Amino acid sequence: MITITLIRHGRSLIESKHKLTANEYTEWVELYDKSGVVVENTYPEETIRTIMKANIIVTSDLSRSICSARQICENKERESFSIFRELELPTLSVKKIKFTPKTWTLLARIAYFLGYSHKCESHKDAQVRAVNAAKQLIEMANQHQSIVLLGHGLFNKYIARQLRKEGFKGKRYTSSIHWSSTTYRKGNDDDINND
């Protein structure tokens, strides 16, 4: 039996409700990618239990993923890989309009899913990366038996979809909640729940 658990990183230290131009938003995204995460008073018990049982912790190479791992599992073996980064956001070239970062992110994500990928990885390439990321996790799980990826909301969802295609059992990954966890299993266990 091997297990792969996908956990979404903690809340970013960078949050803003101020309205920004498209250029200012691009700069804000860069800061967001370099920022750490909020230290919480408590963490979900299931997430803590899963991390303590894991033989290895994997993160993306973005600060919010790495900082999350440091916060919650300081003494565990950890490795970081760029392949587990979040889906990128395209650069928008809109002038004279200001929105909050949340609105810009929504607009950029819609444009991205419609095929716009200016100055970022295309959606098609991201899907290929998710397939390769799942394969890498499976290889590592075969070696370590139990692995946790402290990753990113959307990209974790893409990896989860691929794990299910590879025969892993577990709930459908849908959560956008920070520190939420979903575990996938493969092996001889008739009690695995497949929603």
CA atoms of 133 and 84, how far apart (whole Å): 6
Alpha helices for 20-118 (secondary structure H): 22-34, 45-53, 63-72, 101-113
Flag whether pLDDT at 118 surpasses 90: yes
Mean of pLDDT values over 12-21: 91
Flag whether pLDDT at 143 surpasses 90: yes
CATH architecture observed for domain 2-186: 3-Layer(aba) Sandwich (3.40)
- Mean pLDDT, all residues of the chain: 92
Please give the single-letter amino acid code of residue 65: S
| 0.85 surpassed by pTM | yes
Domain boundaries, the chain: 2-186
CA atoms of 32 and 35, how far apart (whole Å): 5
Percent of the chain with pLDDT over 90: 86
Flag whether pLDDT at 192 surpasses 50: no
> Which pLDDT score, from 0 to 100, does residue 189 have?
57
Flag whether pLDDT at 193 surpasses 60: no
CA atoms of 80 and 173, how far apart (whole Å): 22
